[in-house]
Amino acid sequence: MERGSVDCHCHTSARGFHEAGVQTLVAVTEEVREFDRVLLQDSYPDLVAPCFGLHPLQDGGSPGRKRSVKLQDLESAVPLFYKHAPRLTAIGEIGLDFTPWCAPTQQDRDGQAAVFVAQLDIAKELDLPVNVHSRSAAKVTVATMRERGISRALLHNFAGKPSVALEGVQAGYLFSFPPAVCRNSQRDKLIKQLPLEHICLETDSPALGPRRQERNEPSNIALSCQYIADVKGLSPQTVQHATTLNAERLFFKAERRNTHTHTHTHTHTRQSGAKAPK
């Protein structure tokens, strides 16, 4: 049976995906309180590929308000990385978000960087890839990963300059794009320059769908595939096949799982828990 796509980055529960043409859902987390929720999806062991991670932006205490992550936020997550390491597909969603209204001070950015480096080091120690968020911080994000010796990484919804992306390509990193790229041509230059061997598909469900203010779903991964195919002048089948192989190569646990089943989907969900950062 022909395999479906791998949704390399989403935040959604596992319902109704078997009909979506998605083989694997790589489910990422943003906060420690999401870790248990991801692990509760054990009834879909061949569909959901869980990840633990702390996003650079955390709940700010009021609706819609975010604050930069701090090392104190990592304290309760570190033991969980190690406790559940055998079940994790990657460390994510981690990264840097230097958007001015989210990280207005150097202290905010320094705190994000400290947590990012700590989680990169945990990923290396556990021999896991990383699933990375980067906004208004592409160059620093890629440089930091290279400095920490990271060789297996997915930069999701990447919007940095092509020159920075190509630095990531040299380091072996992969880049994924959600259905939101269909809204305009802003990513066309980047997608054209990235080798197909370094591209993956994602939805970032329930966000970043083809239309603003509408809930995104893993089934929309076909839109990302079609758009990338159009931009690169390839068939959707070629893009779907290549991106699935790329995802399996990166998330090796998912690849091993797929040797037993070819009809499910991986969703990466950030999971945390590990020894105290050195």
- The pLDDT confidence band at residue 262, using thresholds 50, 70 and 90, is very low
Between residues 252 and 278, the one the model is more confident about: 252
How far apart (Å, rounded) are the C-alpha atoms in residues 30 and 38? 11
Structural domain harbouring 220: 5-56+68-269
Residue range 256-278: mean pLDDT, rounded: 35
pLDDT, tens digit (0-9, with 9 covering 90-100), for 132-179 = 999 999 999 999 999 999 999 999 999 999 999 999 999 999 999 999
Residue 47 reports pLDDT greater than 90: no
Looking at residue 11, the DSSP 8-state letter turns out to be -
pLDDT at 164: 98
pLDDT of residue 218: 87
Q: Is the pLDDT of residue 128 over 80?
A: yes
**Beta-sheet pairing, 130-135 with 153-156:** parallel
How many domains, the chain?
1
Question: 81-123: per-residue pLDDT in tens?
Answer: 999 999 999 999 999 999 999 999 999 999 999 999 999 999 9
The CA-atom distances, in angstroms, between 9 and each of 93, 125, 147, 257, 276 are 9, 22, 24, 17, 26
The pTM (predicted TM-score) of the whole model is: 0.86
Q: How confident is the model at residue 39, as a pLDDT?
A: 86
- pLDDT the model gives residue 134: 97
Angstrom distance (rounded) from CA 225 to CA 63: 34
Q: Residue 230 sits in a domain of what CATH number?
A: 3.20.20.140
pLDDT for res 11: 72
Residue 276 domain-assigned (yes or no) = no
User: Is residue 108, in this structure, part of any structural domain at all?
Assistant: yes
- Residue 48: which pLDDT band, with cuts at 50, 70 and 90? confident
- Residue 258, pLDDT score: 45
Domain-located, residue 277: no
pLDDT band at residue 42 under the 50/70/90 scheme = low
- In this predicted structure, the answer to whether residue 268 has a pLDDT above a threshold of 70 is no
Q: Are the CB atoms for 17 and 218 separated by under 8 Å?
A: yes
Segment 8-16 shows an average pLDDT of 59
Coil, strand or helix: which one is 246?
helix
Residue 193 maps to a domain? yes
- Of 126, 109, 115, 113, give the one whose Cα is nearest residue 51: 126
| pLDDT tens, residue by residue, 176-210 | 999 999 999 999 999 999 999 999 999 988 888 88
Whether residue 149 is contained in a domain is answered as yes
